[in-house]
Amino acid sequence: MRAALATVAVAAIGAAALSWGTDQGAALTSEAARRLDIAATPRFLPDVTLHDQTGGAVALSAYRGAPLVLEFVYATCPDICLALRTAFERLDATMPAGARLLSVSFDPRDDTERLGWFADRHGAGAPRWRVAGVADALSRNALLERAGVVVIPDGMGGYVHNAGLYLVDAEGRLTAVFDPEDTEGLRAC
């Protein structure tokens, strides 16, 4: 009887811990938990200064007043960024006229020339779709941290990073993160 009670107690504690650690089963990964947290508590992103594919500078706050979709990429990414770029090409063709798209590079090597190459390759035209970087390392890191973007050098000159389409509302708050394949869900917002 004691062994049965101990087993039930251990199972109950395990179930409670699993429920707590997965937001009552809603998030089975840390990425899913991050996305749920953003949806539950939208957050303002830091007002960083961006340099875009034309060599111009623009503050992130300049995008307030209209919906904005962000992606975090680097110009020479050979894998997950391709899915993001395809999603942005699709969004560029289907989003309402007032919506804006912003590809933000986290690679400090992505200068105006590389950003321009990326923009030309994917049909990104300012002002609707800008490709930009954040020159200041502290500002870049603050933006990545606030958005929950994880970037790890891969040891071969590239990066491993999480991918998503980041919806920012007209007030400048990050409100949701979508999978690159979920452009329909994003447009519904």
| pLDDT tens digits, one per residue of 140-188 | 999 999 999 999 899 988 898 888 899 999 999 999 998 888 777 666 5
Q: Per-residue confidence at 17, pLDDT binned at 50, 70, 90? A: very low
62 and 13 inside one domain: no
32 and 106 inside one domain: no
Q: How many domains does the chain have?
A: 2
26 and 78 inside one domain: no
pLDDT at 81 over 70: yes
55 and 131 inside one domain: yes
Q: How far apart are the C-alpha atoms of 162 and 32, rounded to whole Å?
A: 11
63 and 119 inside one domain: yes
Q: How far apart are the C-alpha atoms of 15 and 17, rounded to whole Å?
A: 5
Segment 56-75 mean pLDDT: 92
180 and 125 inside one domain: yes
33 and 81 inside one domain: no
Q: In this prediction, what percent of the chain has a pLDDT beyond 70?
A: 83
Q: Per-residue confidence at 29, pLDDT binned at 50, 70, 90? A: confident
47 and 33 inside one domain: no
What residues make up the domain containing 33? 2-38
Residue type present at position 83: A
7 and 63 inside one domain: no
**Residue 74 and residue 111 in contact, taking contact as beta carbons nearer than 8 Å:** no
Q: Which CATH number belongs to the domain containing residue 92 in this structure?
A: 3.40.30.10
**Residue 73 and residue 103 in contact, taking contact as beta carbons nearer than 8 Å:** yes
Segment 70-97 mean pLDDT: 85
29 and 92 inside one domain: no
